Amino acid sequence: MRHLSYKTKFANKETHKAEWFVIDATNMTVGRMSVKIANVLRGKHKPTYTPHADAGDFVIVLNAEKVVFTGDKLNQKIYLNFSGYPGGKKEETAKDLLARRPEAVVERAVKGMLPKNRLGRAMYKKLFVYKGDQHPHTAQKPTELK
């Protein structure tokens, strides 16, 4: 039998061309939106998805203060921060964090869905979250993410 030279094409830095997407977070559920964003950052929406390469795209999230939580998560969900020192644990409800820093709610949700290694940290740097509906990335000509 003759050997066929069909080879699977893997994405890498040389072959990958990153696109820019913009998503309006108005009235979107935090978790469901974050899954879509994480998949785009990882590159899972492309047929050339490669688990070991950063072949994802850039994502801009607008109107982060208008995201919604299902159920009573707004009052019950607690975000924890620990400084590393005794007595350095700080708790904050989703309602308080959304009022103080709405970008952090989306960023933390997406970051939790990315790989916990240097590849995941590189993917996370391609996420840009903004409070209002203005962003400084118009030169990149982002397209609407459905």
For the chain, domains (ranges, CATH) are 20-70+101-144 (3.90.1180.10)
- Tens digit of each residue's pLDDT (9 = 90 or more) over 66-98: 999 999 999 999 999 999 999 999 999 999 999
Gap between the Cα atoms of 58 and 142, Å rounded: 9
- Tens digit of each residue's pLDDT (9 = 90 or more) over 95-142: 999 999 999 999 999 999 999 999 999 999 999 999 999 999 999 999
Look over the chain and give the mean of its residue pLDDT values, rounded to a whole number. 93
Vertex 79: Cα angle to 78 and 82 (nearest 5)? 125
